[in-house]
């Protein structure tokens, strides 16, 4: 698993070169716009809601003793909840809406890696690619929510909180990498087949998603570069995996 995670991270090296070599930057303008607008809307809303959630949660404590402590814990929990769900919503909205634009980019990279002018794949159109992206990311969003809520609650326990933060980060990274890999997989596999493929190669998905998540902590530049670089890195590793399994090439 560790080896696969490192492999997913290392795939980012050389992504600038491939994008520039193939002249792909022009394909990223609409996804970049989607990314920036989504980030601004989601995280400005999240900032305003954190205090409200903390206040709402603290109302359930009707006693005077320990009231200030409960308010403090509620505000911290509310902030963590907003951050976690803000990242979730952002990445799934961006990846779902960008699917029709990222799939052709992934295809060009795949053809380049295989030394071909074009690649054989399932024939899908803009609408089908968009629906696939929405379906995959809705499914992943629900799975993230189901896994994150209990971990957040456990994280309120002293000391264990640090471990829960790491677990939530890795869960978010996995599903980010999942979405990036599916831009390539949608040409080769149906929905259920893609789920199974990513499960078998979860280390690659986590490695790709770790860098994806770290990019989001970089102001402005992060949301601009995150999709071009992460999709390119994911395509490189996914094509390698498909070649090993003799699916392509």
In the predicted model, what is the mean pLDDT of residues 27-32?
90
Distance CA 148, CA 77 (A): 13
Q: What angle do CA 210, 87, 7 make, to 5 degrees?
A: 10
Residue-wise pLDDT for 150-186, tens only, equals 887 787 676 676 788 899 899 999 999 999 999 999 9
In the predicted model, what is the mean pLDDT of residues 56-60?
63
Q: How confident is the model at residue 20 (pLDDT cuts 50, 70, 90)?
A: very high
Lowest-confidence pick of 37-41, 76-80, 208-212, 236-240: 76-80
Taking alpha carbons only, the member of 201, 194, 143, 148 closest to residue 5 is 201
31 compared with 247, residue with greater pLDDT: 31
Residue-wise pLDDT for 59-108, tens only, equals 666 666 666 676 666 666 776 777 777 778 888 999 999 988 998 899 99
Residue-wise pLDDT for 120-137, tens only, equals 566 677 788 889 999 999
What integer pLDDT is reported at residue 60 of this predicted model? 63
117 compared with 16, residue with greater pLDDT: 16
Distance CA 31, CA 183 (A): 13
CB distance 120 to 185 below 8 Å: no
What integer pLDDT is reported at residue 39 of this predicted model? 83
**pLDDT reading at 231 higher than 90:** yes
Distance CA 99, CA 135 (A): 11
**What percent of the chain shows pLDDT beyond 90?**
46
**pLDDT reading at 114 higher than 70:** yes
**pLDDT reading at 238 higher than 70:** yes
Buried b or exposed e, range 149-159, using 16+ CB within 10 angstroms: eebbeebeeee
pTM for this entry:
0.85
Sign (positive or negative) of CA dihedral 148, 153, 154, 159: positive
Mean pLDDT for all residues in the chain: 85
In the predicted model, what is the mean pLDDT of residues 228-249?
87
Kindly report the three-state secondary structure assignment for every residue of the chain.
CHHHHHHHHHCCCCHHHHHHHCCCHHHHHHHHHHHHHHHHHHHHHHHHHHHHHHHHHHCCCCCCCCHHHHHHHHHHHHHHHHHHHHHHHHHHHHHHHHHHHHHHHHHHHHHHHHCCCCCCCCCCCHHHHHHHHHHHHHHHHHHHHHHHHHHHHHCCCCCHHHHHHHHHHHHHHHHHHHHHHHHHHCCCCCHHHHHHHHHHCHHHHHHHHHHHHHHCCCCCHHHHHHHHHHHHHHHHHHHHHHHHCCCCC
Taking alpha carbons only, the member of 171, 192, 29 closest to residue 105 is 29
């Amino acid at each position: 698993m560790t080896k696969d995670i490192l492999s997913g991270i290392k795939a980012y090296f050389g992504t600038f070169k491939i994008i520039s070599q193939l002249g792909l930057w022009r394909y990223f303008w609409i996804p970049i716009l989607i990314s920036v607008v989504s980030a601004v809307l989601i995280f400005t809303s999240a900032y305003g809601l954190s205090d409200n959630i903390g206040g709402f949660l603290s109302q359930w404590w009707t006693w005077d003793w320990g009231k200030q402590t409960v308010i403090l814990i509620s505000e911290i929990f509310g902030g963590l909840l907003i951050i976690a769900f803000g990242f979730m919503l952002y990445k799934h909205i961006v990846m779902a809406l960008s699917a029709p634009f990222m799939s052709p980019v992934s295809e060009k990279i795949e053809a380049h890696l295989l030394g071909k002018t074009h690649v054989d794949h399932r024939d899908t159109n803009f609408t089908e690619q968009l629906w696939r992206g929405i379906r995959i990311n809705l499914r992943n969003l629900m799975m993230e929510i189901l896994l994150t809520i209990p971990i957040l609650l456990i994280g309120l326990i002293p000391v264990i909180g640090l471990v829960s933060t790491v677990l939530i980060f890795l869960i978010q990274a996995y599903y980010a990498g999942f979405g990036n890999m599916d831009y390539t997989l949608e040409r080769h596999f149906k929905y259920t087949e893609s789920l199974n493929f990513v499960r078998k190669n979860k280390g690659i998905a986590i490695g790709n998603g770790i860098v994806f998540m770290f990019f989001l902590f970089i102001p402005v530049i992060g949301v601009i570069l995150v999709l071009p670089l992460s999709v390119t890195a994911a395509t490189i590793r996914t094509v390698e995996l498909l070649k090993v399994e003799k699916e392509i090439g």
